[in-house]
Amino acid sequence: PVNILLYGAPGTGKTSFARTLAKEIDRTCYSIAQDTSRHDGRTYSSPDFRFGALQVCDEQIAPNESLIIVDEADDMLRSSNGFGGPFMLFGGGFQSGSGDKGLLNTVLDTLKTSTIWITNTPAQALDESSRRRFDYSICFEPLNCEQRRRIWKNNIARLQMGRLISRKQIEEFSTLYPVSAGGIAQTLDNLAKMQPRKAEVTQLVEQLMKPHCELLGIKLSDDKLLPAKDYSLEGLNIKGDVELERIVEAVRVFQQQKGVQDPDRPRMNLLLTGPPGTGKTEFVKYLGSILKTKVNVRMGSDLLSMWVGGTEQNIARAFREAEAERAILFLDEIDGLVQSRAGAQRSWEVTQVNELLYQMENFNGVMIGATNFVQNLDQAIMRRFTFKLQFDYLDDAGKQLFFERMFKTVVTDEERQRLNEIPNLAPGDFRTVRQSLFYYGGEVSNAQRLDALEREAEAKNCGRFVAKRKIGL
């Protein structure tokens, strides 16, 4: 007999996988399920009751013809001698018997029937002595975009909705809504009951998906990562050892040679530094657009985990997903993830930097990091970047170009002089001003635009910049 552990994110298909496996190997399936009913003051879903039910089941069935599935085994697997403390602290306390590591290990050692244990609990929350007793384990990670696309297609075929939902819509839904397989199936089941017209599908999917994502704390991919329509490299104040156009071409060549397996082949890691709003994120969008390559965006904070070792797993997963999807991996605000190890006070602050170093060395794809605080980065991380680009505030020529491009106007010599006197302007400031003036009634003058840009500079510099305005009518 073997003990198999299926663990990972909820809704990723663990239970379906277990039942399919039982069917494929022609075994009779027995489930030790949760039961919330009570008898003699005891809950049938309590860990001690389920352990007893498991042992009775194991004694009564034919081991060579059967397979036991212990679904939702979280409370049975957690050990108070391992990570019980955090679970108790955050409301995941144990009922009678759930902290008995010895009972769990005894059951694992004495079962006569092959058993599949299914849990949403992170592997780090299981005691090490229990983990090593599993003969085989599979981690079910959150679905990537390609996997979600296949699940959308399979469920649409199951419900015979192919004429209602186009391939383009499937692409949009799988990109926009990073939900589980269960969430996709539930949405399409509910959509089928509504019997919508083809023109209503996108709106109805949005109405079903957004509350689902909000309830589960899933962040929508609202940004399609397409560059702004008026985006251009012209006018940006970018400093680096290599011309920007040559870097773009180098990335293109690297992409074309992606299948080449050469350990001596240089990695394509780019670091973008500079103040906020200077064009770092837009440049990544632009790069993905011209290379016709998907961009996987991960904020540094998205990869941080409350579990020891969890951040390292999240970093590794981000690289695996990008390589599987042949996507550019963009780590935004990377400084929050890999600050200098010289000032590290905890062991995990060192190990997560080491994990990123390892992944950067072995990643067969394009990785881009961006930070507003380059001085905080670990020096070893800095050395792993093939190219480093500094995005600085606009020079005078850049200010005029962005003013005329964003506002579709031409400046006079007097307006140009006033514009040049405004310090520390970034492309993002012009976009902010354009958005803030969009709903102004009537025609907006260049003077109003300059006033707004001066206010942006004043806010950015905490009042250190005082605009030189003429007095008079």
How far is residue 105 from each of residues 1, 149, 165, 197, measured CA to CA in Å? 15, 40, 50, 56
**What is the average per-residue pLDDT within 314-337?**
89
Higher pLDDT, 220 or 392: 392
Which amino acid is located at 361 in the chain? E
The answer on pLDDT for 460 being more than 50 is yes
Query: How would you class 243 by CB atoms within 10 Å of its CB: exposed for 0-12, middle for 13-18, buried for 19 or more?
Result: exposed
Higher pLDDT, 54 or 338: 54
Higher pLDDT, 231 or 281: 281
The answer on pLDDT for 443 being more than 70 is yes
Which range has the top average pLDDT, 12-16, 27-31, 82-86? 27-31
Give bridge partners of residue 277 from the DSSP assignment: none
| Band of residue 276 on the pLDDT scale cut at 50, 70, 90 | very high
Q: What is the DSSP letter of 25?
A: T
> In percent, how much of the chain has pLDDT > 70?
84
| Band of residue 341 on the pLDDT scale cut at 50, 70, 90 | low
Number of residues assigned to the chain? 473
Q: What is the pLDDT of residue 371?
A: 94
Task: Give residues with Cβ within 8 angstroms of 167, minimum separation 6.
Answer: none
Q: What is the pLDDT of residues 150-202, one digit of tens each?
A: 999 999 999 999 999 999 999 999 988 999 988 999 999 999 999 999 999 99
- The pTM of this model reads 0.66
CB contact at 8 A, 22 and 192? no
Q: Using CA of residue 68, residue 74, residue 79, residue 80, what is the dihedral sign?
A: negative
How far is residue 71 from each of residues 17, 74, 127, 141, measured CA to CA in Å? 12, 9, 19, 17
Q: What is the pLDDT of residue 291?
A: 86
Q: What is the pLDDT of residue 385?
A: 93
Q: What is the pLDDT of residue 41?
A: 55
The answer on pLDDT for 335 being more than 90 is no
Fold of 3-140: Rossmann fold (3.40.50)
For residue 101, how far is the Cα from the chain centroid? 34
The answer on pLDDT for 36 being more than 80 is no
Q: Return the CATH number of 237-392, one of 3.20.20.140, 2.30.30.280, 3.20.20.70, 3.40.50.300.
A: 3.40.50.300
CB contact at 8 A, 282 and 228? yes
Task: Give residues with Cβ within 8 angstroms of 163, minimum separation 6.
Answer: 198
Q: What is the pLDDT of residues 242-255, one digit of tens each?
A: 888 888 898 888 88
Higher pLDDT, 82 or 168: 168
Closest residue by Cα to residue 221 from 161, 153, 302, 306: 302
